[in-house]
Amino acid sequence: MKYRKKPITIEARQFDGTQKNATEIINWVLDGGGTARWRCADQAPCSGGDENHTLVVDTLEGTMKVGTGWWVIQGVKGEFYPCADEVFEAGYDSMESLDD
């Protein structure tokens, strides 16, 4: 049998790799009841700078890193998870583009 995914409307924010953008996403996730952090990219002592940090989101499957250019999605049950840009673009249309 074949199946088609039900149309749903989600909220999402794209991560640009900067601390400023990460803070905006973290606040949005926290306001939605989720958990996200800006942390050192590796286990070495933290040396500052955006390039030495990464955004991580706690998901139903565990803590996941958000790549630069990726999206953080809030699912239909309020859960948060990262999604690669190419996967996001293939699966979602902007509501603004649908209004045109």
* Contact by Cβ (8 Å): 43, 31: no
Report how far apart, in Å, the C-alpha atoms of 44 and of each of 21, 26, 40, 41, 78 are: 23, 23, 8, 8, 33
How far is it, in rounded angstroms, from Cα 96 to Cα 100? 7
pLDDT in tens, 61-99: 999 999 999 999 999 999 999 999 999 999 998 887 555
Please choose, from the candidates 28, 9, 10, the residue with its C-alpha nearest in 3D space to the C-alpha of residue 66: 28
Span 31-50, pLDDT tens digits: 999 999 998 877 666 666 66
| pLDDT at res. 16 | 95
